[in-house]
Structure formats: structure tokens, C-alpha cells
């Protein structure tokens, strides 16, 4: 299962990279705002990598923020694209929100399991 989740995370990262740096004509268009598209894509990315690398979650979160910044800067070299600080902030915060959601779920699950063990369930 871990291999599947990791493959899914990396495929999602490839799709986000293509959508960020690829030709605008090939970008998927959602019926939501520009920021909403970014929020959705990067929350999913954070969820995927947090689930894929639970033991390295902090490292993965930090690297995600750095690589999101690199993606944004690479747009400076792509005709028709533009790097925007607002996009970086939305993207990084969204990815970190995905990591936080998985961390919270993990914490609640472990807490519930510990409580059940203490009760003898």
C-alpha cells in the first residue's frame, strides 16, 4: 500500500509540475477561482506526500515548501507564465495544510488506540 501511495504522490507532483510549467492550453480548468485551483491542487499534494512518507513528514513538508518556491521561480523562464508571490503563499500554505490534516488524523487515531488499549478494549 505504501508503494501505491508514494506512486500516487509522485504522479500528482508530476501533474502539478506540468500544470505549472507546461503550455497554458494543456492546463486543466476547474469551475473554481484561480486561488481555489491552487488550493485544491496543493492540499491534495500535501495530503499525498504526508500519507506517503509518515516517518519523514517534517522533512517532506519542508522540502515541499522549497520545491513549490522553485516551481514558482521556474515560471520566470517559461514564456507566457509569471511567478507571483501570492501563488507561492497559497500553494505553500495549502500543501502545509494537507500535511497538517494527515498529522491531525494520525494523532487522533493513535490517541484513540491508546485510550482503547488502556480500557482493555
pLDDT digits (tens, 9 = 90+) for 40-63: 999 999 999 999 999 999 999 999
Q: How far apart are CA 62 and CA 37, in angstroms?
A: 22
Q: Of residues 82 and 13, which shows the higher confidence score? A: 13
3-class DSSP state for residue 84? coil
Q: How far apart are CA 121 and CA 111, in angstroms?
A: 14
| pLDDT tens digits for range 104-120 | 999 999 988 888 888 76
Q: 47, 41, 51: which is closest to 14 by C-alpha? A: 41
Q: Is the model's pTM score more than 0.85?
A: yes
Q: 86, 102, 1, 91: which is closest to 48 by C-alpha? A: 102
As for how many domains the chain has, the answer is 1
Whether 33 shows a pLDDT value over 80: the answer reads yes
- What range does the domain containing 58 cover? 2-119
Amino acid at each position: 500500500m505504501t508503494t501505491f501511495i508514494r506512486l500516487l504522490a509522485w504522479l500528482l507532483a508530476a501533474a502539478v509540475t506540468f500544470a505549472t510549467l507546461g503550455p497554458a492550453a494543456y492546463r486543466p480548468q476547474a469551475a473554481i477561482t484561480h486561488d481555489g485551483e491552487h488550493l485544491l491542487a496543493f492540499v491534495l499534494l500535501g495530503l499525498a506526500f504526508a500519507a506517503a512518507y509518515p516517518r519523514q513528514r517534517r522533512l517532506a513538508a519542508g522540502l515541499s515548501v522549497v520545491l513549490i518556491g522553485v516551481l514558482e521561480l521556474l515560471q520566470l523562464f517559461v514564456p507566457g507564465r509569471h511567478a507571483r508571490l501570492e501563488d507561492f503563499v497559497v500553494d505553500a500554505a495549502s500543501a502545509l495544510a494537507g500535511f497538517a490534516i494527515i498529522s491531525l488524523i494520525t494523532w487522533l487515531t493513535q490517541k484513540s488506540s491508546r485510550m482503547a488499549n488502556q480500557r482493555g478494549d
